[in-house]
Amino acid sequence: MTRSAAEQALSEANVAPSTIKLVELHDCFSTNELITLDALSLCPPGKAHEMVRSGDITYGGRVVVNPSGGLISKGHPLGATGLAQCAELVWQLRGWAGERTVEGVGAALQHNLGLGGAAVVTVYKRADGSKSRRLGDKELEVIARIGGRGYNPAVEARAATQSEIEAGRSRRASSHWMGGGSVGEAKL
């Protein structure tokens, strides 16, 4: 499934696997990361273990895999995994990721698996066609101001205020599960 999805996504994006320098992949188990590196054609068949041993999947290597820390760093929240990967890749391409930023990325790849046998592969590029670069402190200050929260969400996490939760709540399909209690408290 992964190989087929990757071939289709890379073809539609007109991107060769050899040009991918940044990947967020579904690393639910160590073995799955090895299988996925192979299935995404990021290495010759059966050679993912050599990529890992040689450091080719980290900064300074051929491709940076899971600069966000991967699924385990987030507790592998079912359903939210793909959104977290998407956010990371967008932050990376925009240069918001601070010290995690992978510079010079023209196209990034997201791989996710779903329950019941689903594989999703998405290729991300900057709309302006340029490559990623790490933004300077002054540029990041502007980003924090524009975002309205006063900080860069790519490098810092803060709890949402009740007014922010209310502003984001759907007016048509609201649920008591969304921010029903005080901030950080689930209302059961």
pLDDT tens digit string along 48-102? 999 999 999 999 999 999 999 999 888 888 778 899 999 999 999 999 999 999 9
Range from 75-89, 126-140, 145-159 carrying the lowest mean pLDDT: 145-159
Q: Answer whether residue 188 shows pLDDT above 60.
A: no
| 145 pLDDT tier (thresholds 50, 70, 90) | confident
* Mean pLDDT, the chain, whole residue set: 88
Give buried/exposed letters for 19-45 (b at 16+ CB in 10 A, else e): ebbbbbbbbbeeebbbebbbbbbbbee
In the predicted structure, residue 129 carries a pLDDT above the cut 80: yes
Where in the chain are the domains? 2-125, 160-188
How far is it, in rounded angstroms, from Cα 66 to Cα 76? 13
C-alpha to C-alpha distance for 162 and 167, rounded to whole angstroms: 9
Specify the pTM.
Answer: 0.84
Task: For the domain covering 2-125, report its CATH number.
Answer: 3.40.47.10
Report d(CA 145, CA 151) in Å as an integer: 7
Report residue 172's pLDDT band, with 50, 70 and 90 as the boundaries: confident
H or E stretch covering 147? helix 137-147
Q: Single out the residue of 36, 50, 41 nearest to residue 18, CA to CA.
A: 41
Tokens describing residue 104: 């010079």
